[in-house]
Structure 1
Amino acid sequence: MTDAVPQARPRSKWPRRLRVTAWCLVVLLVVVASAAGLVVTWTVRHSFPTTDGELAVPGLQAPVEVLRDQYGVPQVYADNSHDLFLAQGYTHAQDRFWEMDIRRHITAGRLAELFGESQVATDSTVRTMGWRRVAEQEYGMLSASTRDYLQAYADGVNAYLAEHTGSKLSAEYAILGLLTPGYTPEKWTPVDSVAWLKAMAWDLSSTITSQSRHAMLSASLPADTVARLFPEYDFSRWEPSVRADPNATVPQSAGRDEKADIAAAVTDVADAASSLDAVLGPRGKGIGSNAWVVSGKLTASGKPLLANDPHLGPQMPSIWYQMGLHCRSIGKDCPFDVSGFTFSGMPGVIIGHNRDISWGLTNLDPAVVDLYLERVSDGTYEYDGARRPLETRQEVIEVAGGEPRTITVRSTGHGPLMSDVMDRLKSVGTQGREPGVEPGEYAVALKWTALQPSRTVDAVFGLATAHDWNSFREAASLFAAPSQNMLYADRAGHIGFQVPGVIPIRKQGDGRFPVPGWTSASEWSGYIPFEKLPSALDPASGYFVNANNAVTDPSYPYLLTKDWGDGNRSQRITDLIKQGGKLDAAAMQRIQLDTRNGNAANLTPYLLKSTVEGDTAKAQDLLRGWDYTQPADSAPAAYFNAVWRNLLQLMFLDKLTNAAPKVDVDGGGQWFEVVRSLLERPDDDFWHNSGRGVNGRDAMLSTAMNDANKELRERLGDDPAAWKWGDLHQLTVQNKTLGTGPAPIQWLLNRGPDGVAGGPATVNATGWNAKKTYDVNWVPSMRMVVDLADPDASRWINLTGASGHAFADHYDDQLPLWRRGETTAWPFSRQAVEAAAKQHLTLKPA
């Protein structure tokens, strides 16, 4: 046996010294990468707060306990109100200070101090409206007890800040240090807390968007065409939330033909406003909420159940923070025993329950904004034939990495001139805007109830301590802005519905069009008295439902809005309540997760009658026998929504883009109704697309089906049965500031994408914009079901988690549950809280 001959290794073409150098570089890179990983890990974990054991906190008068469950949700126990809210501020700062700091910079118009030139437009918009200035005025109006709570809260935040700086506060500060070296957060103040309600009022208002749409389309399309694009609310199909007095006299609004030479000016205002939307998330008619309450006669327990899921733009961390605030002994000095969803940066509970009552909120979106076209010249504006001086003030915007920017804010008696926000908007035109109007310089002023100081923060604490319907309404009477629908239940068995808010009474107009500012004929004559706002207790039906549908029927004697959301969600919830037998908490959750698409039920029969061939016919077969539900794994839902998107592009986008480029054909509930009404008019002009050579409804539907089939085969493969709605309908939960940066930072701070169920105008409302992509742009930001028979049996879920610290255990631990439609236990009694507690932190006076 011969020995094997060793094979010679091929000689490297690199010289030996170069090979050694290369290997050294490789080893060095590995070491650097490992070190970098360790640095990143240390930086991220460095900010994780202490949540077990004991901590000394300056300002406390007695020890406070903070018990956290397996999801890190804190329940706070104190002997007095001062300590309770000081501990709430400390706890919020532990988990969410970066978010709090960003929020106060938003509301003060100071984002450019952190992020530079890119945020000057946003800051200019906020400074022009003067959110911080209004909040400062509001603070002085609040009750002495509320001011004490706000100060205690601020003291708690500042106690945490005193011992935590830079990356020890949050990993985001380490990243920010690379962009804006030397930044150190200022101390928290009570006004920082008050101001956040202005951002929420903005986020929940669609009026600027709506008035802009009306003005732009009216400028270039016939009146009957515009009417078809904005159909009236169909009271014959959808129940209102509250029935009004059938004998009431309904005043008729005078209205005006606001033709559109004003469109350009209003479009400029909408452009300025959009810079703020980029920070706060999507805003408009499509965004809303679900809430309903059922009385004991409809429940298995004989006691009420209340469900709520507000719809907002997704963000990391979630806008909500779950928390319980408990006085160990309830009395005058400490009247709180409440649990629910809070805003980090604000004391109190916004939505939730106490030991006696529960409440939920949906967006009313009333007509509380008017855009006034003003005749401005030489520092004055015209009003009833006279010239009045503009009010002016200077605002200096500090810019990280750049020179400060000074803007001049001008205001008329109606409000700030929003058309001054950007340099290019300083003069919106020199042409006469209406027949008989002389040429001159024009501007657009914003009149908005949220810019009038109010006592809404007092209402937050009043709700927390309310014990019956009367005390609940007393608290609600202080809730000025944002105007909401409030649903109520108590342990005595009552259910109620109350609209609060400051809502104007107009001399003319209905809030859908801009109005002339040069005449007193367009003024507000007052506000709807609280006792006249829609309110009802214990209806014969045994339920109240609101999903941004009409609150009242047409007999209600005051104008709330002419621009209600559609009634698809509310009617579906109502139908499921009626069909549900004796309801329990699990049944309420099933309703929250319902994904039936009412639009599909209307349109699909027409699609099945359409003539298509080949591959499209195989896709069409997906719709046969479909139940119109939209789970994430649904092939029919994927195809239907692709057909819907392509149909909207064929019908509207070309026509409306030419008429008004900024009009957003988003495909939500409004467009469900537009298309539904056109289905019975097969030769309507909207069924014609000259560019594609399509004429008539049937041809249009067939073309949309072909286009959708082609799109999905390219995106999802050639087998229609394997298509999944969730492969198109993806949710990414993004940090709204740094989460838009380089890929490594996105990986650190953002979560997703993941496929989700639902769609716009389904009960499980996960919105998407048909003009853009199928990606999710608004969601149920939380879900809750309160069981008044046993509060400890209530259920809740947050979109993300309690923590704002990336890679902390509770940063996103609720997101998978939320996505699957699951909820977690919501302990309330001390016994239940202790049983669920995984961590026990005692805060002691320093």
Structure 2
Amino acid sequence: MPARKKSRRVRFIVIALVLLLVAGVGFASYWSVTTVRASFPQTTGSLKLAGLSAPVDVRRDAYGVPQIYADTPEDLFRAQGYVQAQDRFYEMDVRRHLTSGRLSEMFGKGQVETDAFLRTLNWHGVAQKEYDTQLDAATKAYLRAYSDGVNAYLKDHSGATLSVEYAALKFSNGYRPQRWTPVDSVAWLKAMAWDLRGNMQDEIDRALMTSRLSQAQIKQLYPAYPYDINQPIVDAGSVDSATKVYTPAVTSSGPQSLNNTVDGQLAGISQVIDQMPALLGPNGSGIGSNSWVVSGAFTTTGKPILANDPHLAPQLPSLWYQMGLHCRSVSSACPYDVAGYTFSGMPGVIIGHNRDIAWGMTNLGADVTDLYLEKVTATTYLRDGKQVPFTMRHEEIKVAGGKSREITVRETTNGPLISDRSDEIREVGQTAPVDNPPGGVNAGYAVALKWTALEPSKTMEAVFELDRATDFDKFRDAAKDFAVPSQNLIYADSKGTYGHIGYQAPGQVPIRADGDDGTYPVPGWDSHYDWKGTIPFRAMPYEYDPKRGYIVTANQAVIDQSKYPYMLTQDWGYGTRSQRINDLIASKVKEGGKISMDDVQAMQGDNSSEIAKQLVPYLLKIDITGDKNSYVRNAQKLLEGWDYNQDSDSAAAAYFNAVWRNVLKLAFGNKLPKELRPEGQCLRVPPVGETGPVDNLDGKGIPTVQECGERDPSEAQPDGGDRWFEVVRGILPDATNPWWTMSTTAFYGIDTDKAHHSTRDQLLAQAMKDARYELTAKLGKDIDTWSWGRLHKLELKNQTLGTDGPGVVKWLLNRGPWQLSGGEAAVDATGWNAAGGYDVVWVPSMRMIVNLQDLDKSRWINLTGASGHAYNPHYTDQTGKWAANELLSWHFSDGSVRKATKATLVLTP
């Protein structure tokens, strides 16, 4: 038989076996081809959409990305709601249940604790107040039109015709989606704000560290921002004295002494937060993003080039939905001609460009949350020497297939008591958080959350203002209303010789009392610690056409805090990515070169490891003792001549990152308080001098609990982000720094005969050995077969059933894995958490590059695709290109869109 025919026959046999396997799975009728395809949207021909004033065209390109053309804004946003429901309604439905604390209605009792926490925060209630009291008539009209479009789709679709996930939900609990409301859209902004809330987890962690570490040690683990090596976003500046701003806040001298009970409360809150769904990024990790803009004076196009790639949790479908919204005739009556990235479930475009300007966003990281310790009884809290009654809300949590649960939410002037949602407190109002009753009255500490997002704002209005802005002044007007989450907004236009570039820091950022820098919980019973308003928008930093010719924002410090009269935060990102981008741009500009679109795309894919540049020279000097058959030395040689790039096929990148992870384990993991230690994590390392690979490993290549000896199997380690880059950079020159000591007893000054005072080089040697053993278990003994991508993998999972559904459903809905380049705090930020392994846990969720000289030459890519329907051609059709740092053409003008159109749907009144 010819080889080609034989190969074809084998493929047919394999396909037949797969089909038989699928056909034989239980409840196969729910997952038949007919069921899967039932929800695919109609994209050609015509459909009636009630409420339209005139026909609307929906043109889709080869990747299913829609461009909508209408005569009025209301028609435009009504069609947007309909089209997004076509592609993404299940995603929208899950989001609104999350933001309203109603996940249990869809998924049962397993979501009750999450719902209870969300009801305590009351996102949906705050969104309702925003809609009722803050938004102008036009914004409300757009929100209603969008909702009408969604509901028009729901009217004609249900169950499997909405999405295949509903086939499973209908079978298990009889769930039916309700009508969409404008408040459902507004509430999504609260979810954004939650995941981009700033330093709340750091505040908890620092407080818990006081039980075991000194203030000096805590400061070492939270070093000051390195202004000497990583420049802030804007050049040093201050607020003019004519604005009559407040004097700078006084740096805190440290937290009040916390007792064990308060520690327990904070630990319980931390546990609840960890259980919250990570909508945008992993909790407690440095959610970041990159954006930069270069003046036309330094580009090959002669006009600005603007780039943006937000780093968020990988999701399937992607958090983003690409779309264009076009008024056929742009005028004051219909001012929208905009394209970019939207959120399914919310009208307008969040990031992108219109015909006049382009903009991008990264997380500013402003400190907009504070934890207040409250002295409470069951019904009151202490306030300036008086007992004040709580404001109370009663909430009913309905549970699919189970009994409803009722909770009581207690609120103080400093916000809701989030400690009431900890595992220690089940019956709210009957038991106080601390059993310390004076005079027979149950009293103790609780923890309240003060957060700017719990106050109504105009952020939804700001989205529409951005979409129709025509110049920098209008852009800043929009930014003024962008209250939460606080973002770095970059800007570009094509006006004038070289166009203009700019930056604005928006957001509601609190002004704190003297002596409070937001780094620790403060006493809520003393009104001295109340917020003193928010920083006036006129005092927020901004830039317009800076002399250097470019602006970079990547979560670094906005401005040198010592030269600015307000505190934005004490917990910036440490500038690793931002400085790398600054250096890449500056090196090109200083050499007299011009930056091209291809240059910018290459920068987005830059995966150089900055911590490797610091650490590898030390690692290469280590003399591995007792190294039988050069077992570790052969791995060490991988680092010789390594260019520090973390390409997916790099063995050196694999070995270095394993060494880095083990350095963190040995230097810091066993020194953190038990409350910060994830359960079940074993950090046992092979004995010093061990010359071969560990034999007793679990399936993940980690020593089993039985091999942990006397060490606590729940010990923790840092996540490995760029804060830890800075911590290690600070102690690297000091070979005998106490943090290099691998023994807990020696570190804490208990000088016993058993204490082992290790040095930096001894610890690095041990980390190199441990990394060799670990990768042998994971990748094999032959280092020639090692690659970073084999460790550093991305699997895309459906946001609900893809993680908790039956195995066959996961198989149908999930995709991957992909072996990725990039790494932690690299520009190509395919992040991983050193506490949990090497798998990718956050990603550049999209990438875009806007060419202000010719908008039709702009480029973009999404993490997945336009569709949220499994097996639709556009489910993950962009992922392969995204993984390879490739971009698609971004068509914008009417002529360009027409040429790229592959399917046209006409929506008629």
TM-score (norm 1): 0.94
Q: Which segments of 5 or more consecutive residues in structure 2 lack a partner in the other structure?
A: 1-18, 242-246, 679-715, 745-754
Residue identity opposite 2:570 in structure 1: K
Question: Which one of 826, 831, 837 corresponds to residue 762 of structure 1?
Answer: 826
Residue identity opposite 2:721 in structure 1: G
Question: Which one of 240, 245, 260 corresponds to residue 237 of structure 2?
Answer: 245
Residue identity opposite 2:792 in structure 1: H
CA distance in 1, matches of 2:850, 2:21: 55
The answer to whether residue 591 in structure 2 is matched with residue 582 in structure 1 is no
In the TM superposition, what is the alpha-carbon distance from 1:245 to its structure 2 partner?
2.3
In the TM superposition, what is the alpha-carbon distance from 1:548 to its structure 2 partner?
0.2
Indicate the residue corresponding to 2:296 in structure 1.
296
Cα 1:98–1:38 shift into 2, 3 Å: closer
Cα 1:470–1:30 shift into 2, 3 Å: closer
Secondary structure in 1 matching 2:99: helix
In the TM superposition, what is the alpha-carbon distance from 1:280 to its structure 2 partner?
5.8
Cα 1:120–1:594 shift into 2, 3 Å: same
Indicate the residue corresponding to 1:189 in structure 2.
181
Indicate the residue corresponding to 1:10 in structure 2.
none
CA distance in 2, matches of 1:659, 1:43: 47
The answer to whether residue 512 in structure 2 is matched with residue 506 in structure 1 is yes
Kept in 1, the 8 Å contact 2:823–2:829? The answer is yes
The answer to whether residue 449 in structure 2 is matched with residue 446 in structure 1 is yes
Indicate the residue corresponding to 1:650 in structure 2.
666
Indicate the residue corresponding to 2:172 in structure 1.
179
Residue identity opposite 2:801 in structure 1: L
Secondary structure in 2 matching 1:290: strand
Indicate the residue corresponding to 2:797 in structure 1.
734
Indicate the residue corresponding to 1:107 in structure 2.
99
Indicate the residue corresponding to 1:796 in structure 2.
860
CA distance in 1, matches of 2:781, 2:526: 63
Deviations 1:61-98 (A, max 9, x none): 11000000110000000011111000000000000000
Kept in 2, the 8 Å contact 1:248–1:557? The answer is no
CA distance in 1, matches of 2:536, 2:546: 23
How many residue pairs end up in the alignment? 814
Secondary structure in 1 matching 2:393: strand
Indicate the residue corresponding to 1:632 in structure 2.
648
CA distance in 1, matches of 2:77, 2:89: 16
CA distance in 1, matches of 2:411, 2:531: 17
Secondary structure in 2 matching 1:255: coil
The answer to whether residue 130 in structure 2 is matched with residue 138 in structure 1 is yes
Kept in 1, the 8 Å contact 2:504–2:543? The answer is yes
Residue identity opposite 2:68 in structure 1: V
Indicate the residue corresponding to 2:396 in structure 1.
396
Q: Which segments of 5 or more consecutive residues in structure 1 lack a partner in the other structure?
A: 1-26
Secondary structure in 1 matching 2:108: helix
CA distance in 1, matches of 2:442, 2:581: 53
Q: Which moved more, 1:690-699 or 1:69-78?
A: 690-699
Q: Which moved more, 1:590-599 or 1:34-43?
A: 34-43
Residue identity opposite 1:444 in structure 2: V
Kept in 2, the 8 Å contact 1:247–1:555? The answer is no
The answer to whether residue 772 in structure 2 is matched with residue 709 in structure 1 is yes
Kept in 2, the 8 Å contact 1:498–1:535? The answer is yes
In the TM superposition, what is the alpha-carbon distance from 1:38 to its structure 2 partner?
9.0
In the TM superposition, what is the alpha-carbon distance from 1:657 to its structure 2 partner?
4.8
CA distance in 1, matches of 2:173, 2:209: 43
Q: Which moved more, 1:275-284 or 1:410-419?
A: 275-284
CA distance in 1, matches of 2:391, 2:573: 37
Question: Which one of 488, 492, 499 corresponds to residue 489 of structure 1?
Answer: 492
Secondary structure in 2 matching 1:123: helix
In the TM superposition, what is the alpha-carbon distance from 1:277 to its structure 2 partner?
3.4
In the TM superposition, what is the alpha-carbon distance from 1:286 to its structure 2 partner?
1.5
CA distance in 1, matches of 2:884, 2:838: 19
CA distance in 2, matches of 1:494, 1:355: 14
Cα 1:833–1:734 shift into 2, 3 Å: same
Kept in 1, the 8 Å contact 2:668–2:717? The answer is no
The answer to whether residue 258 in structure 2 is matched with residue 260 in structure 1 is yes
The answer to whether residue 757 in structure 2 is matched with residue 752 in structure 1 is no
Question: Which one of 447, 454, 458 corresponds to residue 461 of structure 2?
Answer: 458
Kept in 2, the 8 Å contact 1:801–1:813? The answer is yes
Indicate the residue corresponding to 1:11 in structure 2.
none
CA distance in 2, matches of 1:134, 1:378: 25
CA distance in 1, matches of 2:129, 2:190: 13
User: Sequence identity of aligned pairs in percent?
Assistant: 53
Secondary structure in 2 matching 1:842: strand
Residue identity opposite 1:287 in structure 2: I
Indicate the residue corresponding to 1:674 in structure 2.
727
Deviations 1:242-270 (A, max 9, x none): 12326979724252421332332222222
CA distance in 1, matches of 2:145, 2:239: 50
Residue identity opposite 1:450 in structure 2: A
RMSD: 2.0
Question: Which one of 409, 430, 433 corresponds to residue 428 of structure 1?
Answer: 433
Q: Which moved more, 1:395-404 or 1:580-589?
A: 580-589
CA distance in 2, matches of 1:466, 1:525: 32
Indicate the residue corresponding to 1:545 in structure 2.
552
Secondary structure in 1 matching 2:191: helix
CA distance in 2, matches of 1:705, 1:193: 51
Residue identity opposite 1:820 in structure 2: A
Indicate the residue corresponding to 1:160 in structure 2.
153
Question: Which one of 618, 628, 633 corresponds to residue 617 of structure 1?
Answer: 633
Secondary structure in 2 matching 1:323: strand
In the TM superposition, what is the alpha-carbon distance from 1:686 to its structure 2 partner?
1.5
Question: Which one of 551, 567, 570 corresponds to residue 575 of structure 2?
Answer: 567
The answer to whether residue 843 in structure 2 is matched with residue 779 in structure 1 is yes
CA distance in 2, matches of 1:102, 1:751: 20
Secondary structure in 1 matching 2:185: helix
Indicate the residue corresponding to 1:9 in structure 2.
none
Kept in 2, the 8 Å contact 1:767–1:778? The answer is yes
In the TM superposition, what is the alpha-carbon distance from 1:585 to its structure 2 partner?
1.3
Q: Which moved more, 1:204-213 or 1:42-51?
A: 204-213
In the TM superposition, what is the alpha-carbon distance from 1:667 to its structure 2 partner?
0.7
In the TM superposition, what is the alpha-carbon distance from 1:719 to its structure 2 partner?
1.9
CA distance in 1, matches of 2:788, 2:32: 36
CA distance in 2, matches of 1:407, 1:188: 26
CA distance in 2, matches of 1:567, 1:170: 42
In the TM superposition, what is the alpha-carbon distance from 1:578 to its structure 2 partner?
1.2
The answer to whether residue 806 in structure 2 is matched with residue 806 in structure 1 is no
Kept in 2, the 8 Å contact 1:206–1:283? The answer is no
CA distance in 2, matches of 1:401, 1:280: 29
Secondary structure in 2 matching 1:497: strand
Secondary structure in 2 matching 1:524: coil
Secondary structure in 2 matching 1:220: coil
Secondary structure in 2 matching 1:545: strand
Question: Which one of 724, 732, 735 corresponds to residue 787 of structure 2?
Answer: 724
Cα 1:658–1:189 shift into 2, 3 Å: closer
Kept in 1, the 8 Å contact 2:60–2:904? The answer is yes
Deviations 1:321-375 (A, max 9, x none): 0000000001122110000000000000000000000000000111110110001
Kept in 2, the 8 Å contact 1:585–1:787? The answer is yes
Deviations 1:387-436 (A, max 9, x none): 21110010000011110000000000111000112462354324599xxx
Indicate the residue corresponding to 2:741 in structure 1.
688
Indicate the residue corresponding to 1:282 in structure 2.
282
In the TM superposition, what is the alpha-carbon distance from 1:173 to its structure 2 partner?
0.2
Kept in 1, the 8 Å contact 2:847–2:862? The answer is yes
Secondary structure in 2 matching 1:245: coil
Secondary structure in 1 matching 2:200: helix
Q: Which moved more, 1:745-754 or 1:145-154?
A: 745-754
Kept in 2, the 8 Å contact 1:204–1:284? The answer is no
Cα 1:762–1:32 shift into 2, 3 Å: closer
Cα 1:129–1:277 shift into 2, 3 Å: same
Kept in 2, the 8 Å contact 1:694–1:700? The answer is no
CA distance in 2, matches of 1:56, 1:94: 14
Cα 1:538–1:384 shift into 2, 3 Å: same
Secondary structure in 2 matching 1:769: coil
CA distance in 2, matches of 1:28, 1:636: 43
Residue identity opposite 1:832 in structure 2: S
Secondary structure in 2 matching 1:586: helix
In the TM superposition, what is the alpha-carbon distance from 1:690 to its structure 2 partner?
2.6
